[in-house]
Amino acid sequence: MKTIGLLGGMSWESTATYYKEINQGVKEILGGLHSAKISLYSVDFDEIEKLQHRGSWNETAKILSRAAQSVEAGGADFLLICTNTMHKVAEEIQASISIPLVHIADATAEKLISDGIKRAGLLGTKFTMEQGFYKNRVSEKYGIDIIVPNQQDQEIIHSIIYNELCLGKINASSRTKYLEIVGKLFSQGAEAIVLGCTEIALLVQQQHTNVPLYDTTQIHAAKAVKLATCKNVS
């Protein structure tokens, strides 16, 4: 079994989900007392969050690249960044290490394609919804049309992520707001909704809506399990 590298802490709530999902996945495949071999580096999210909102992406890249090098030194065979937003600096992180980086957008797009989804709505931080590092990768590399909420709804989504979900706060009123936005995107032709922030699934699950939801945390973790337990998997 290969060793899975996790670059986490952004936030630790969603990183805990990665750890649980990966270990459960390995147990399901290998059985018995098997658990995942993991090299994990968890950063201080307060530092990263401040740099994000200042637009200091080069600084975040330096911090996360050093952390990724520690993950590799810990014996990881490949790396997952346990957050959608910080894939903005995925290329810089990949350049700093010799092991492959498993991109969360690629894993998600592969799942969408396998399910025949051609147009999807994207929820995430404002950075992920506004900028092209995520949605353009999905549309240009995989031919999937990505639509995002309007500016006002983006503000709502972003605020709830940072002021509630990253702090472990789960509010029913916020879930209602998210589901209203999901409904709007569905009415605009989205066949499914990508939960493009690893905290969103803490608030909204498939049981809350008939619109198909794609939890990027679960999808990314499942890809890691597959890579760790199967031979000759790309």
List residues with catalytic annotation: 83, 197
Measure the CA–CA gap between 219 and 93, rounded to whole angstroms: 21
Report H helices in 11-86.
Answer: 12-30, 45-54, 57-73
Q: Are 27 and 228 in contact (CB under 8 A)?
A: no
Phi, psi of 164 (to 5 degrees): -130, -65
Q: Which residues contact 193 (CB under 8 A, 6 or more apart)?
A: 120, 121, 122, 123, 182, 185, 186, 211, 212, 213, 214
Torsion of CA 178, 176, 159, 11, to 10 degrees: -80
